[in-house]
């Protein structure tokens, strides 16, 4: 690390940041710390925000609208410096109270004078601000005001609780979202307010107070000298310093439930914080239970909706499958019906052709006719047909005779016995590219194909 130009203190912070965040890359840890001016707490809180899914305070919008806060003193536990455990470094005349009668009278008069003087000064200051002194109080950079206060506070008081790194509106929204107590601390120049100095240096620096605040609450603070601090001071009605208020969700509204005015011992502040927290924890517990119930109901409803959607999808898929099956059955039936119609049409066509071709069959010559030969046809059914033809008759005439005979198959071929020769085949007539050869074979005469008298020809069924 020294080779990277880091001091021993910076190297130690890099190692601490790595241990806290679990980031293995040392260069990443160094870059994050450099981006936050080596402020370990700020860098660590930003990493926590990122892991919790909340935007970092430096990237989040500062225009977040703060939820309304109910400020009713009748609903608050109010603690002041005058109560047991409180202390004051006030403007009351210092020194022992005189014991003589005239000394006591002077002491009381001086005390009353200073009290009324302080009150009158506060009233005049309020009227001055009301009359037109608010121009300088316009809030232009609330996050900058908060961050400046935190830097100054950490520098002046090394022992301190962790302040929320964001605007007042962001702190309110986070406390409401996380259902946690929010402590608002308004700071005033400690050089001019000894009670503030005592409270910050002695009370807020106590380890027990720091542990309680860091564990159970969000702590937001700002200086009332800045526009953001002044705006918050007006909204929560601050009368003296130091002042802390505890805000919590109560009956679905953000409400000031505790007010801590003036300085006190660490033990007393811890007791007061615990008292207010214990009195209002029931409201947060109820809010957590209600939120858990709502989340459970929403989750259950979402699961039911998803199950219903899945059921609908399954029903739709089943209906589509049934429709596909019905379509398949319908198409099969249509195919069977079409095949049946095709068969009937083919039979009708063959019957028509037989009627037409029957007229083309030549008449049978007499037994003693010159050039007449007898041909025996053996059908697939075993029937033997004998008919006389002229030697000059063509094979087409033979085909017409056989085709028109009722016992002959519709698709057939004519072959000799031995040696086997195919004289005619209906398949060759229907085959593409074989029509010319078939016509040539049909046009040959019986004498051309070498048929002799009493020759036996076989008729083979091509559809068998």
Domains of the chain and CATH, by start:
8-52 (1.10.8.10), 142-292 (3.40.30.10), 372-461 (3.10.20.90)
pLDDT at 122 (0 to 100): 52
Residue pLDDT, tens place only, 275-311: 999 999 999 999 889 888 988 888 899 999 999 999 9
User: What band does 49 get if pLDDT is binned at 50, 70 and 90?
Assistant: low
Please state whether beta strands 253-261 and 69-70 pair in parallel, antiparallel, or not at all (unpaired). Answer: parallel
**List of residues 6+ apart from 87 with CB closer than 8 A:** 81, 198, 262, 263, 264, 265
Could you give the 3-state DSSP secondary structure of residue 326?
A: helix
| Predicted pLDDT at 85 | 65
pLDDT confidence band for 60 (50 / 70 / 90): very low
Residue 271's pLDDT band (boundaries 50, 70, 90)?
A: very high
118 confidence band (pLDDT: 50, 70, 90): low
Burial class (CB in 10 A: 0-12, 13-18, 19+), 132: exposed
How far apart CA 97 and CA 389 sit, in angstroms, is 164
Cβ-proximal residues to 414 (8 Å cutoff; 6+ apart), any chain: 377, 395, 398, 399, 402, 422, 423, 424, 425, 457, 458, 459, 460
Give residue 91's pLDDT: 45
Residues 6+ apart with CB under 8 A from 238: 186, 224
Give the phi and the psi of residue 224 in degrees, each rounded to 5. Answer: -70, -10
User: Quick one: angle between helices 266-358 and 395-404, nearest 10?
Assistant: 110
Q: Which of 29-43, 139-153, 184-198, 228-242 has the lowest mean pLDDT?
A: 29-43
Q: Positive or negative CA dihedral for 118, 123, 124, 129?
A: positive
CB 172 within 8 A of CB 181: no
For every residue of 421-460, DSSP letters joined together read -EEEEHHHHHSTT-HHHHHHHHHSBTTTTT--TTEEEEEE
- pLDDT tens string 91-115: 444 444 555 666 667 656 765 665 5
Q: What integer pLDDT is reported at residue 33 of this predicted model?
A: 82
What local confidence, expressed as pLDDT, does residue 89 receive?
A: 58
How much is the pLDDT for 154?
Answer: 93
pLDDT > 50? residue 2: no
pLDDT top residue among 208 and 432: 208
End-to-end CA distance of the chain: 97
Residue 432: pLDDT over 60: no
**What's the CA gap between 343 and 98, in Å, rounded?**
137
Name the band, by pLDDT with cuts 50, 70 and 90, for residue 169: very high
222 close to 186: Cβ distance less than 8 angstroms:
yes
**Alpha helix segments (H runs only) across 199-265:** 207-216, 227-236
Res 59: pLDDT? 43
Averaged pLDDT score across all residues of the chain = 83
pLDDT score of 117: 54
- 319-349: pLDDT as tens digits: 999 999 999 999 999 999 999 999 899 888 8
- 403, exposed or middle or buried, with CB in 10 Å at 0-12, 13-18, 19+? buried
Three-state DSSP class for residue 165: coil
Put simply, whether the predicted model's pTM sits higher than 0.85 gets the answer no
Distance between CA 446 and CA 387 in Å, rounded?
13
Place 368 in a pLDDT band, splitting at 50, 70 and 90: confident
Residue among 182, 153, 187, 147 at smallest CA distance from 167: 147
Question: Higher pLDDT residue, 131 or 373?
Answer: 373
């Amino acid at each position: 690390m020294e080779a990277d130009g880091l001091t021993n203190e910076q190297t130690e912070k890099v190692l601490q940041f790595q241990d806290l965040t679990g980031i293995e890359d040392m260069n990443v840890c160094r870059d994050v710390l450099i981006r936050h001016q080596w402020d370990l707490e700020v860098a660590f809180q930003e990493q926590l925000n990122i892991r919790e899914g909340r935007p970092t305070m430096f990237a989040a919008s500062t225009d977040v609208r703060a939820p309304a806060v109910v400020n009713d003193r009748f609903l608050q536990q109010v603690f002041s410096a005058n109560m047991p455990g409180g202390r004051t470094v006030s403007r009351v005349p210092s020194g022992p109270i005189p014991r003589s009668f005239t000394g006591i009278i002077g002491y009381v008069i001086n005390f009353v004078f200073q009290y009324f003087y302080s009150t009158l000064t506060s009233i005049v200051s309020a009227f001055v601000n009301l009359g037109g002194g608010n121009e300088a109080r316009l809030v232009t950079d609330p996050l900058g005001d908060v961050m400046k206060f935190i830097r100054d506070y950490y520098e002046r008081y090394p022992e301190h609780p962790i302040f929320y790194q964001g605007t007042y509106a962001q702190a309110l929204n986070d406390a409401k979202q996380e259902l946690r107590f929010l402590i608002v601390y308004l700071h005033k120049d400690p050089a001019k307010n000894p009670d503030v100095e005592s409270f910050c240096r002695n009370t807020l620096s106590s380890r027990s107070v720091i542990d309680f605040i860091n564990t159970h609450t969000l702590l937001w603070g700002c200086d009332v000298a800045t526009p953001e601090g002044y705006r918050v001071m007006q909204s929560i009605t601050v009368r003296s310093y130091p002042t802390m208020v505890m805000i919590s969700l109560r009956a679905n509204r953000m409400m000031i439930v505790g007010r801590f005015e003036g300085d006190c011992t660490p033990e007393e502040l811890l007791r007061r914080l615990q008292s207010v927290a214990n009195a209002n924890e029931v409201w947060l517990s109820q809010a957590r239970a209600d939120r858990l119930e709502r989340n459970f109901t929403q989750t259950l409803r979402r699961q039911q909706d998803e199950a219903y959607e899945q059921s609908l999808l399954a029903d739709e898929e089943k209906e589509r499958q049934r429709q596909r099956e019905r379509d398949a059955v319908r198409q099969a039936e249509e195919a069977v019906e079409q095949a049946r119609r095709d068969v009937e049409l083919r039979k009708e066509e063959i019957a028509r052709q037989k009627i037409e071709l029957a007229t083309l069959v030549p008449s049978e010559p007499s037994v003693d006719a010159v050039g007449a030969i007898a041909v025996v046809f053996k059908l697939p059914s075993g029937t033997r047909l004998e008919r006389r033809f002229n030697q000059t008759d063509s094979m087409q005439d033979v085909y017409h005779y056989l085709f028109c005979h009722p016992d002959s198959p519709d698709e057939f071929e004519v072959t000799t016995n031995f040696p086997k020769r195919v004289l005619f085949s209906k398949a060759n007539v229907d085959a593409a590219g074989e029509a010319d050869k078939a016509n040539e074979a049909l046009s040959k005469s019986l004498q051309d194909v070498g048929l002799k008298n009493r020759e036996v020809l076989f008729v083979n069924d091509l559809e068998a």
